[in-house]
Every structure is written in C-alpha cells, then in structure tokens.
Amino acid sequence: MRSAALVVAALPLAMAAPSKRASPAPLLKPRSGDIIEGKYIVKMKSGSDFEVLEAHKSLVSSKVDYTYNSHKFAGFAVSMTEEEVTALQDMPDVEYIEHDAIVRASATQENADWGLARLSSTSAGSSTYNYDDSAGEGVCAYVVDTGIDIDHPDFEGRATWASNQVDNDDTDGNGHGLPLRRQGFGR
C-alpha cells in the first residue's frame, strides 16, 4: 500500500520530466562559412508549441541570442557548452542542432542576365557576373528619366543632381525615376 502511494506521488514528476529520444538529434555543420565556436542554432520539430520552445531555452545557462518562432521555423540561437548540446540532442522536440556560422554571398553569379554579366566582362556573350569587392563605391551613374528624390533614405546621402535638362524642378516629375533608381542604387 505504501509503495502504491509513493508511485502515485511520483507520477506527476515523471510526467513533467521530458522523455528521452531513441537516438540523439543530429548535430550539423554548415557546408560553408566560418563556424562560430560555442554558438548554435537549435531547430524545434514542426508542431512544437511555444511552451516547449521556452522550456528547452531554459536548459541552457547563457542568454538566448535570438528566438525563431514562426509557422515555418521554430527554434533559437544560443551559446552552449558541449554538455548542454548533448542534453538538448536528447530532447524529443529538438529536430536538429546546427553550428552557427558567418556565411558570405558568392563572389560569382553563373548564368547571369546578359546586362549584368556585361558589367564585369569585356567578352561579348559572357553569362558570368563577378561581384566587385568595392560594391560599387565611387561609381557614377547617369540616368535619363523623369527625376529622382536624392534625399530618399535608401540612397544614404550618396545621390546628387548632376544636371536637369527639362525644367528647374529637381524632383521626380511623374514618379517613374525614383523606383527604378532605388532598384539599381538603393539599399
């Protein structure tokens, strides 16, 4: 009788403890980029609710850097020890853990549009665009259009008027020039 009471008393504790999975969640390394030692992204399984996400975040000793909580991706970015990584790998709601890394965009674009490829190649018919390390710094572009708002925040103070051949009003007369210039030269 006494052992039955003990089992009943311990039941809530056993139910509250997270169950262990059959095999650990995968620990992934990015294919490229510079791995940031001790930093990880923990991806929760689809359908995990917010309370489960918060409970898993509380298992690590450091402050969570970022929480991802959308219907497409739930998880968090955090600095962890190897022991904390191993503990989270055993949690059934963790889909995988990935080393965080700094990833940079490719320096070359294959099969680029002819106009883009022509910017970095002197050979006619080239379809490769090589990004310049200067990212366009120091480039001047002369545009024939309806005007531009050089004070627009997307230009970050980099746009200036060179010449207005239509009238004395240095604005975008009918709204066509600004959207096109923002695509080419804005942020």
For β-strands 94-102 and 27-28, DSSP reports them as: parallel
pLDDT single digits (tens) 22-57: 899 999 998 878 899 999 999 989 887 777 777 777
In this prediction, residue 120 has a pLDDT band, given cuts at 50, 70 and 90, of confident
* Mean pLDDT confidence for 73-88: 91
Q: What is the mean pLDDT of the chain?
A: 76
Residue 125 has φ and ψ, to the nearest 5°, of 85, 5
* Domains defined for the chain, CATH in brackets: 16-102 (3.30.70.80), 105-137 (no CATH), 140-187 (no CATH)
Q: Which amino acid, one-letter code, is at 124?
A: A
What pLDDT is recorded for position 40? 95
Contact (CB, 8 A) for 92 and 19:
yes
Residue 8: pLDDT above 50? no
What pLDDT is recorded for position 184? 58
pLDDT single digits (tens) 153-171: 777 777 777 777 777 777 7
What pLDDT is recorded for position 27? 96
Beta bridge partners of 101: 35
Distances (CA, A) of 133 to 79, 99, 118, 137: 32, 27, 17, 9
Residues 6+ apart with CB under 8 A from 178: 147, 148, 149, 152, 172
**Contacts by 140-146, CB closer than 8 A, 24 or more apart:** 141/184, 141/185, 143/177, 143/180, 143/181, 145/176, 145/177, 145/180, 145/181, 146/172, 146/173, 146/174, 146/175, 146/176, 146/177
Residue 121: pLDDT above 80? no
In this prediction, residue 12 has a pLDDT band, given cuts at 50, 70 and 90, of very low
Q: How many C-beta neighbours within 10 Å does residue 8 have?
A: 9
Q: What is the pTM of this model?
A: 0.49
Percent of the chain with pLDDT over 70: 77
Q: Which amino acid, one-letter code, is at 74?
A: A
* Mean pLDDT confidence for 124-143: 75
| Max mean pLDDT range (9-18, 70-79, 166-175) | 70-79
